[in-house]
Structure 1
Amino acid sequence: MPLRDHFNQLKAKAEELNRKHNLLPIGQNSAHQTYVPQGHQGYPGQQPQYQGQWQPQWQPQGPQPNHYDRPPAAPPVPLHSRPSQSGASPEYQQYPQVYWRMNPQAAVSVDFEQKQGHGDPYGWGNDELENYTSHSENSFYTADGKLIVRAISRPGHPDPEARFTSARLVTRQTLAQTRGCLTAWLTLPRAEGIWPAFWMLPREPFEWPHEGEVDIAESWNGEIDNHSCLHWGSYVREDLQKHLVRKTPLPDATHRPVRFDFVWNCENIPYRNDGKSAGGGRLMWCIDGRSIMKNLMPAGTRPIQDWCVLLNVAMGGTVCKGKTPPEGIYDMVVHGLQMSDGMEGGWGRFEHEWQNCPDGIVTY
């Protein structure tokens, strides 16, 4: 067979496979993919009021995740690993049961409270630039089931409230259980003046910082290091030991879904007379299936089952050292978000990982 005919046959087979599996056409990639809300063209409900020279200048660098890069579905739980009829959880459950996950078929507001406003009066502080909105240009689901948390920098906009907009989403669902695992698959934006975060706070109302804060994924100013943190004190010299951190280099976090797990086991932890934790529950942070930090839940924090999950992209402020993000669009892509009753590999794996995982350290 002539070489050209053989090549054409191979190309035809490849195109047939692409059509069958709904992949990108041959020779194309999604390096400059722009996510658009379902049924959304431009600004919600109207034409953009700003008609200046601004056009989004930022584009993702390198290959971006395609629509088939979904989080893997959890395999069925084997019979021998399922809870007993008495309701007791097995100690070595290999495949945990998911008890909550975000629902891309519903509006964002169903699973998340979309915080609005900006600045210190709202308790978000740090002299940040962003105005958090509930607009569909700042948070939306894509047609293929991803949640987009979008920060938009347009410093030339005539309306000061529209120059830096973003989304701050808080789950309506709490962790709810005394032990379990929170998992997210995230592709994160990176640039000067940009601060994406996947973190947790107690359900409102709460007393910050004494009732605690957990940071699972965050970086700022284009740094490649991810910060895993546990906070329960103010930023004063006396409270330095109440800020524990581990840094993990993630140079490719803008190009692929990174898996973040936060695992907690706070069973049989006593409460104080004021309802706060007496301390001692075990917390573990994992990235791409590798445990990278552990710590005990401090005394005086809120019981873990009362905590909520936050997703946001902040801009500027003291944490970003006053840097302003360049004009453009910055997307945190949430490929999946769920809560399970344990980590993959079961609580036996958790015990093993606990023995070898480093504690957080004071870095401030």
Structure 2
Amino acid sequence: MEFRDLKAQYNKYKHEIDAAIEGVLKRGVFIGGEEVETLEEELKAYLGVKHCITCANGTEAMTLLMMAWDIKKGDAVFVPDFTFFSTGEIVSFVGATPVFVDVDRNTFNIDVQKLEETIIRTFNEGKLNPRAIIPVDLFGLPANFPEIEKIAKKYNLIVLEDGAQGFGGSIEDKKACSFGDAATTSFFPAKPLGCYGDGGGIFTDNDELAELVRSYKVHGKGESKYDNVRIGVNSRLDTIQAAILLVKLKIFIQHELDDVNRIARWYSERLKGVVDVPVIPNGYKSSFAQYTIKLKDSITREALQQKLSDKGIPSLVYYQKPMHRQIAFLDLACVDINFPISNELSNIVLSLPMHPYLQEEEVDFICNIIKNSTKV
């Protein structure tokens, strides 16, 4: 059994994917080209945003926005403590300081009450200049943007939505990757919408910001890449990856998003009362980049992982260590007791196989092992 079965997806849509790749090979345009332009237009239309700018990967997408906003040394950027390293890494990369915030135990996303408390504390300490918030749509569930955007407005902060895992999620009728001042996503193969390599996207309604990002991603170009008006980077989405994403975006909209939500319901119906299943607030929709349960303790998790492995079922721990405990951030001297939920989650979460091609009998097989192995 695969944790995320990309081979099943390819086998079902082999003709369409192969034809898309062959079209690029025949035209011989491997950087830029019509596929990249078409993909950006289709992503804009799907998300309901004014600008889509593709780039090399999700991490660089966020870095480009840090550059465009001139986030720098002395600035504070508020980041959830329980997430992948890159969300904090891109802040340090531009010389600013990531300020970690504990998360909500139910949603895994940044705790809005603790966010405001941390912002106030940072202002009062006077050592850093609060500039931005980077909420993460963890495991496919959008963060609490209605409240986050109120807080950001109150304290005059920029909001960058890290939608690397969130593409396809929504709050009411507004889709993930359309919140905040700008949003980013990743097209890493295992993401809800993934290519066959690296890729990323930036989304915004701000014309000036979009123009700056387009400059920064091509060596700080002005009128052309040989007219350089600022120091930038080289960050492009390859044409072949764009062609693959055009096929995969179509099937994602047609059925894959609905399929993963149906599979999540199968899991939750069978596991409710056995383990803590994901909580999806009213009005929210998740794209279920991962289906993540919570167990009693790390010993229970380790035992369950072994039993699943013995039956050929993969499972993964996202994330084994909170941000504030990462060695790279030890110089920030974070106080461990300020992150009780992140610390707890790192010991008890377990992600189960999740992809649109998972069969109901496979879910039954997985759930029966869990039922026979553990209880909340």
- TM-score by length of structure 1 reads 0.23
Greater fraction of residues in helix: 2
Q: Which of these two proteins has the greater Rg computed from alpha carbons?
A: 1
- Structure-2-length-normalised TM-score: 0.23
